[in-house]
């Protein structure tokens, strides 16, 4: 029933009630009163109070593209914080999930793995956060739709939430989470991000690491963390146009990604006589295989390590002398001791200016902006830049 016809019916019933209040038998009067009451509750159903509903970008089926809808604000548990998102960062996984039908667990579904905003509400057992504080989010709990960021409000475990350092803007903060967690996982696979003894740091200073896809969002944080941890030679494989930027971030050398395999291998030999000890790939299968070939041709005496952010090497590759590692970003929320240390440690690095956020942005506005941004990210990709949306 429309709101207007509900109001008209209430008016009619009220008039009837007034007219025969005194003479009508009690049963009939009660019936009319009940009908009036139910119509009143109908009006409250048609218009939900504003503070229980929010805007979100949702997937309603695998056959339709993203759309903007009003849905309920997620419910908060005792140890969680409700964050009002002001900016969100877009990632390839957001459109890939819909296109290739993965990571969507029910309909309507919400994507979005990072954002920055302000604390709107805190659970009863939360310590250390208060309403109005600026924060940023990395959401790795893919299956819990409450933690997705393409909605006005996102729920976050209070132990896994970053306070926004004062030297970082909300826009920059919105594009930090996924890159930081993924790059930290790469470092964890290489050496363990939380270990930092003198012996470890001496060993690290002798190692040569190659990062294929260093100009990607994830790659840029891998480079920075390698520098923070004192790795000796850090080789970025990327387009020439990104060279000066990557050298500033921490690469000690840069090799053009478009060189032939033979020329690229020669460039590596010029940088390190013995070749590389550690190889990281942030692009895909073909480039993972190239990194494996470089590791196999290396004369490194130490155990060689390969970390694939996107893909495992092909099955026909010789992996006998190489430790092959995947990236497990879900460790961030599944192992809270690890996750909260990561938050603490990276907050310290950001605050001290040892880690820099991305500042090269492709900007969009509003919830429709998320949809337009996702279309563009799929069509044009990112070139040493981050797609962000102001909500």
> Interface residues with ligand NAP (CB under 6 A)?
91-93, 178, 182, 212-213, 215-218, 237-239, 257, 282-283, 287, 309-310, 327, 329, 381-384
Q: List the alpha helices (DSSP H) in 24-63.
A: 26-46
Least spacing, CB of residue 312 vs ligand NAP, in Å:
11
| Of residues 255, 300, 254, the one with CA closest to residue 274 | 300
CA dist 265 and 140 (Å) reads 36
| Of residues 230, 241, 238, the one with CA closest to residue 255 | 238
For residue 211 the two structure tokens come to: 């990062």
Least spacing, CB of residue 180 vs ligand NAP, in Å:
10
Smaller CB separation from ligand NAP, 151 or 182: 182
CA dist 287 and 219 (Å) reads 14
Smaller CB separation from ligand NAP, 282 or 294: 282
Q: What is the crossing angle of helices 177-190 and 217-228, to 10°?
A: 50
CA dist 208 and 107 (Å) reads 47
Q: Burial of 361 by CB count in 10 Å (0-12 exposed, 13-18 middle, 19+ buried)?
A: middle
Least spacing, CB of residue 60 vs ligand NAP, in Å:
23
Smaller CB separation from ligand NAP, 218 or 388: 218
| DSSP per residue, 93-156 | HHHHHHHTT-S--SSSEE---EEEEEEEEE-TT--S--TT-EEEEE---TT-GGG-SSBSEEEE
Least spacing, CB of residue 278 vs ligand NAP, in Å:
17
**Does the bond joining 317 to the residue before it have cis omega, within 30 degrees of 0?**
no
For residue 154 the two structure tokens come to: 């996102």
Least spacing, CB of residue 119 vs ligand NAP, in Å:
26
Least spacing, CB of residue 249 vs ligand NAP, in Å:
12
CA dist 313 and 324 (Å) reads 9
Least spacing, CB of residue 114 vs ligand NAP, in Å:
10
Smaller CB separation from ligand NAP, 84 or 94: 94
Smaller CB separation from ligand NAP, 39 or 278: 278
| Of residues 75, 73, 43, 40, the one with CA closest to residue 56 | 73
Least spacing, CB of residue 259 vs ligand NAP, in Å:
11
CA dist 233 and 227 (Å) reads 9
CA dist 390 and 86 (Å) reads 6
CB 186 within 8 A of CB 307: yes
| Of residues 123, 161, 122, 120, the one with CA closest to residue 140 | 161
Smaller CB separation from ligand NAP, 81 or 324: 324
Least spacing, CB of residue 383 vs ligand NAP, in Å:
3
CA dihedral over 281, 283, 285, 286, signed as positive or negative: negative
């Amino acid at each position: 029933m429309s709101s207007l016809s509900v109001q008209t019916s209430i008016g009619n019933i009220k008039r009837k009630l007034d007219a025969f209040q005194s003479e009508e038998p009690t049963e009939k009067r009660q019936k009319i009163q009940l009908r009036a009451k139910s119509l009143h509750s109908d009006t409250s159903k048609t218009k939900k109070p504003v503070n229980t509903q929010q805007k979100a970008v949702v997937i309603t089926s695998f056959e339709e593209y993203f759309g903007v809808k009003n849905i309920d604000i997620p419910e908060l548990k005792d140890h969680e914080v409700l964050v009002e998102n002001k900016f969100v960062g877009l990632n390839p996984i957001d459109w890939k999930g819909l296109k290739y039908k993965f990571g969507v667990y029910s309909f309507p579904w919400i994507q979005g793995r990072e954002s920055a905003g302000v604390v709107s509400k805190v659970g009863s057992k939360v310590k250390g956060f208060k309403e109005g504080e600026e924060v940023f989010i990395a959401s790795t709990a893919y299956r819990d739709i409450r933690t997705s960021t393409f909605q006005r409000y996102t729920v976050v475990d209070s132990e896994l939430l970053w306070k926004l350092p004062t030297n970082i803007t909300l826009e920059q903060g919105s594009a930090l989470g996924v890159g930081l967690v993924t790059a930290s996982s790469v470092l964890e696979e290489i050496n363990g991000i939380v270990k930092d003894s003198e012996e470890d740091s001496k060993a690290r200073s002798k190692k040569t690491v190659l990062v294929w896809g260093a100009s990607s969002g994830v790659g840029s944080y891998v480079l920075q963390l390698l520098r923070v941890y004192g790795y000796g030679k850090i080789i970025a494989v990327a387009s020439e146009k990104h060279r000066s930027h990557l050298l500033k971030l921490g690469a000690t050398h840069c090799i053009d990604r478009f060189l032939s395999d033979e020329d690229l291998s020669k460039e590596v030999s010029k940088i390190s006589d013995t070749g590389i000890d550690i190889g990281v790939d942030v692009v895909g299968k073909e480039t993972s295989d190239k990194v494996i070939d470089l590791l196999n041709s290396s004369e490194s005496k130490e155990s060689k390590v390969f970390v694939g952010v996107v893909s495992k090497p092909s099955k026909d590759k010789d992996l006998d002398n190489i430790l092959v590692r995947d990236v497990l970003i879900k460790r961030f929320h599944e192992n809270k001791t690890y996750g909260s240390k990561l938050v603490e440690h990276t907050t310290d690095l950001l605050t001290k200016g040892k880690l820099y956020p991305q500042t090269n942005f492709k900007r969009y506005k509003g919830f429709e902006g998320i949809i337009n941004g996702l279309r563009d990210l799929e069509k044009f990709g990112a070139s040493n830049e981050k797609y962000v949306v102001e909500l």
